[in-house]
Chain A
Amino acid sequence: MKVSSRILGLMAALAAGTALAGPPSVTVDPNKGTNADTVISNQAIATYEDPTGTPGNTSGSVTSNIVTTTVQAKAAFNLTYTTGGDSATTSTLAGAPAAYQKEVVAGQVASFEYVAVNNGNSTQTITLGSQQTGGIGTIKFYSSAPVDPNNDGKITGAELSDPLNIAKEIANNTLTVKPQGDDPLTDKVVETNTGLQNFFMVYVVPDVAPGTKVGATPVGTGQVFDAVSKTNPNQTETASSLYLQYNQVTVYSPTVDTAPPKVTPPTTPPTTPPGVTVTPGTTPVYTDPNNPNTPILPDVAGDVQKAYPRSDSETVAADSVTFNNVVTSSPTSPADTVLLFPTDSSGNPIGTNNGDGTFTLPGDVKVSFGGTGVTLVTGPDGNKYPSVTLPAGTTGTTPSASYTVTVTYPDPDTINPVPVTVLIGADSSNDAGITANGTTTDTIYPAAMKFGDADSVDGSVAAPGTVGDTPTKSANPSATVTFPMDIVNPGEYADTYTLEGYVVVKKYDGTYEVVSVVYSGSGITAGTPVSRTVPLPGGGTTTVSVTPYTTSSVSANGELKDIQASVTLPAGAQAGQTLTVQQTAKANYSTITLTDTNDKITVGAVGSLTVNKYQGVNANATTDAAGQAAKNVFPGDTLKYAVLAKNSYNTDVKQFILKDPNSAATSPFSYAKADTVTASVSLTYDTGAAPTTAANLFYKLNGGAWTAVGTGGAITIPAGTTVTSIEVTSLYGSGTPTDTTGVLPAKATLRLDISLTVK
């Protein structure tokens, strides 16, 4: 907001109206005549030769009578400039002489000194009237120049109500001016009256457009001798008779303005958010003097600056941006102390003035001013304001001064922020009051972010644990599980985001595999894998390669919905575990980083437990269909059995015991010749499925105690033992199983070989 105005010369002396230093140079009419009431008297004396005396004497002496006559009034007067020269020309506004032309700010007081001249020989009673052009209100006449009670160099209309100024008002607007010279009515005193009386015309300059010329003239009514009637009736000055004496004021407004700085467009500009285009060498941009990561774009033509601060990695303390601004006047401006403050759209100070150069605005926004040359002064309203000083302008030079504006605002990261807009005003001290003559706008676009499970509402993500948020999904090994995610950008500038995720999966072989989350969706592209160190549930860490994904630009107050976060479980994933999907989304410009860890995958069990028994006669059993066919034996033949228990699940089968026979009714041992039963047990794993630590095998003979067999081997059957049952199981670690703690490891085959001779 710039206010157009006329330019002024030196302001200080003119605003108050100057009182002349010496006596006026107007002279009373030299032909005014002898003052009225003077008595002219005369007497003659004759001398003669006294005939009774010596011839030639002159001692005879006789006086005549005295004749007297009294001088009457022959009145005349004029009101004029202190330098005289009123004429038909000066009877109009345009004809005001140069010494009676001023530039005064609207609302301030203009005062002009005049002189009433008694050009006659009698006391004048002159009534002071006036004529004005341009909408001047009340015109007052003072006996001496108006004063400036608050001493701020400007006299305002309000200050004319000060008792000091009221005391100067000429009573009844009437002057009494004695004629020049002696007053014949005073007997013993010889006066030297001047016949002149100075006075001041005082008025408030009306609030009209700067550059408008206004003015007024005193119009005197006094006594003027009329030769026809021989009386001294009242006569009023006119433009053609006795003339008027116009003064002229050009209404003025100081040309103070404030604006963004002119910045040389850098060839290597700072980074700006997506959508904020900065062309190297063309777009003006600078960085916050207190924060090189905040670019600020000054638009001098648009009188606005835009700042794009990043997040500062914490969310509690208020954030701030510091702008550079300039204040200027004009080549014809006088020196000025310019006050700085935040304003409303009308240029009035806004917010709470904290008295220390800072201001608090609604919304918990605080504005402070800084820079070398910025000092705290007391404004015309008695409050303290930051200010800069401008020297007087010279031809071809526009005075200017720099200052900074620091805007502090609540941390925006986790809220739905709006742009922080502050209107900064600059107020000249050369005009009355505290209204900005020019303003400029400093705007901050804060960033914010939300990331979480998708919901159906725009602008939000599902809060963990709420209805509709089902972040736990079940999946079997090798299956792919997908979680829809939302990224919301409640901030005020567009941004792109980088997504990364992983899941630490325990496999049934005891090892961990870290699976990288695959993100897909509109505008999402995979990037180059990065190395991440990931903690393992059992302690320790592992370094893995995780693929980051980049989204396209999400507009301010926009949202990227239904991002698909997919996890493909490894084939060896152990059933029964609950996996946590660790997701991180980072805003690439604002650097806000959010995590989501409430999405979980429970691994299902896939597989079966099968037990197959094979038999061979006088030969090893074949573990095929032939081995399961019925066979014939003769007493004395050797029966060889192979019992294979296979756990094809992706998890250990617990509480496992393999028992042969299942029941006494089907036991082959009852047909065994004494001391011919042998048995052995072994544990094998599918290819690639061997655990890191092998399980130990145990057997129980005839329901006795569990006995270790290491990782496999013969089952000891003491001589003379009648075998009724053999049980086998396995166990990890160094302990001994109980009837409930034995396991058949995942992907393991437990083989019990039994041989006996048929009796």
Chain B
Amino acid sequence: MKPPTSLLLLVLPGMGLAQGAPPLMVSLTQAVVRTVTENGKVTEQRLPLPGSVRPGDVLVQAVTARNTSGHALVNVALKLPVPASTVYLAPDGALPQGVRPEYSIDGGKTFAPAPLKRTVTVTENGRSVTREVEVRPNEYQAVRWTIATLPAGAEQKLGFRVQVR
């Protein structure tokens, strides 16, 4: 198994900077979304702990952040990369109040709110022309949700859907 390069930066001991137990607990879950037809109705099923997937399968990966301290935490930023061999589809579920989503197309170095723009240089009528084009969601390489304030004891779950290439 080859760990994606981006993860190398993320394997950090969570205890390096705080004293005692960290005030925030972050857990990551994933489930496979299957579309099934029952009695003529098309419904979604989520199958957690998918040990294996196939190309085309849709994975939901969700981050749950819980404030385990006694006071509110501010500017809680949850960063979740779009894993290798998958492509970002959409947020999973409606965005709650007070959460600002941002996206990165540079491997998680910088984030910006949608729509992201990129400049491209094209040749029109024999001349090089620079244009700004909108970045499509399937180009997102990481998502960062920023929770303005997470009250003490409160929990926030945010996730996205990706499709296995």
Q: State whether B50 touches A48 (Cβ < 8 A).
A: no
Interface size range on B against A: 35 or more
Bound-state Cα–Cα, A61 to B2, Å: 25
Bound-state Cα–Cα, A58 to B84, Å: 27
Bound-state Cα–Cα, A562 to B118, Å: 126
| B129 in the interface (beta carbon within 8 A) | no
Would A67 and B77 be within 8 Å (CB), given that A33-B54, A33-B56 are in contact? Answer: no
Q: State whether B86 touches A40 (Cβ < 8 A).
A: yes
| A46 in the interface (beta carbon within 8 A) | yes
Which of A33, A62, A70, A121 contacts B26 (CB under 8 A)?
Answer: A62
Residues of B within 8 A of A66 (CB): 7, 28
Which of B26, B73, B84 contacts A45 (CB under 8 A)?
Answer: B26
Would A63 and B26 be within 8 Å (CB), given that A45-B79, A47-B77 are in contact? Answer: yes
Q: State whether A58 touches B75 (Cβ < 8 A).
A: yes
| B63 in the interface (beta carbon within 8 A) | yes
Stretch at the interface among A49-57, A523-531, A663-671: A49-57
Which of B4, B14, B26, B53 contacts A69 (CB under 8 A)?
Answer: B53
Bound-state Cα–Cα, A62 to B22, Å: 7
> C-beta contact mask, A6-50 vs B, less than 8 Å → 1, else 0?
000000000000000000000000011110001111111111111
Residues of B within 8 A of A187 (CB): 2
How close is A51's CB to chain B, nearest CB, in angstroms? Answer: 6
Q: State whether B14 touches A43 (Cβ < 8 A).
A: no
How close is B57's CB to chain A, nearest CB, in angstroms? Answer: 9
Would A71 and B85 be within 8 Å (CB), given that A42-B28, A52-B19 are in contact? Answer: yes
Q: State whether A64 touches B27 (Cβ < 8 A).
A: yes
Bound-state Cα–Cα, A69 to B162, Å: 13
Q: Which residue of B lies closest to A39 (CB)?
A: B1
Q: State whether A48 touches B28 (Cβ < 8 A).
A: no
Would A48 and B83 be within 8 Å (CB), given that A33-B55, A33-B165 are in contact? Answer: no
Bound-state Cα–Cα, A62 to B51, Å: 25
Q: State whether B28 touches A64 (Cβ < 8 A).
A: yes
Which of B2, B22, B30, B165 contacts A34 (CB under 8 A)?
Answer: B165
Which of A31, A42, A60, A74 contacts B54 (CB under 8 A)?
Answer: A74
Residues of B within 8 A of A64 (CB): 26-28, 63
Bound-state Cα–Cα, A66 to B7, Å: 10
Q: State whether A67 touches B30 (Cβ < 8 A).
A: yes
Q: State whether A70 touches B18 (Cβ < 8 A).
A: no
Residues of B within 8 A of A33 (CB): 54-56, 164-165
Would A60 and B22 be within 8 Å (CB), given that A49-B75, A184-B2 are in contact? Answer: yes
How close is B11's CB to chain A, nearest CB, in angstroms? Answer: 7
| B81 in the interface (beta carbon within 8 A) | yes
| B105 in the interface (beta carbon within 8 A) | no
How close is B83's CB to chain A, nearest CB, in angstroms? Answer: 4
Residues of B within 8 A of A69 (CB): 30, 32, 50-53, 59
Q: Which residue of B lies closest to A32 (CB)?
A: B55
Bound-state Cα–Cα, A187 to B1, Å: 7
| B65 in the interface (beta carbon within 8 A) | yes
Bound-state Cα–Cα, A69 to B58, Å: 12
| A65 in the interface (beta carbon within 8 A) | yes
Residues of B within 8 A of A40 (CB): 53, 59, 83-86, 164
| A72 in the interface (beta carbon within 8 A) | yes
| A267 in the interface (beta carbon within 8 A) | no
Residues of B within 8 A of A51 (CB): 23, 69, 71, 73
| B40 in the interface (beta carbon within 8 A) | no
Q: State whether A60 touches B24 (Cβ < 8 A).
A: yes
| A291 in the interface (beta carbon within 8 A) | no
Residues of A within 8 A of B75 (CB): 47-49, 58
Would A72 and B54 be within 8 Å (CB), given that A33-B165, A62-B26 are in contact? Answer: yes
| A378 in the interface (beta carbon within 8 A) | no
Bound-state Cα–Cα, A43 to B30, Å: 11
Q: State whether B24 touches A46 (Cβ < 8 A).
A: yes
Q: State whether A46 touches B77 (Cβ < 8 A).
A: yes
Q: Which residue of A lies closest to B59 (CB)?
A: A69
> C-beta contact mask, B6-22 vs A, less than 8 Å → 1, else 0?
01001110101111001
Bound-state Cα–Cα, A729 to B152, Å: 195
Which of A38, A58, A63, A225 contacts B77 (CB under 8 A)?
Answer: A58
> C-beta contact mask, B71-95 vs A, less than 8 Å → 1, else 0?
1011111111101111000000000
Pairs across A and B, CB under 8 Å, 27 listed: A31-B55, A33-B55, A34-B85, A40-B164, A41-B1, A41-B7, A42-B28, A44-B63, A44-B78, A44-B79, A45-B12, A46-B79, A48-B76, A50-B17, A61-B14, A62-B26, A63-B14, A63-B26, A64-B28, A65-B28, A67-B29, A67-B30, A69-B52, A72-B52, A72-B53, A73-B54, A74-B55
Interface set of B (CB-CB < 8 Å, partner A):
1-4, 7, 10-12, 14, 16-19, 22-30, 32, 50-56, 59, 61, 63, 65, 69, 71, 73-81, 83-86, 150, 164-165
Closest 3 A-B residue pairs measured CB to CB?
A33-B55, A64-B28, A39-B1
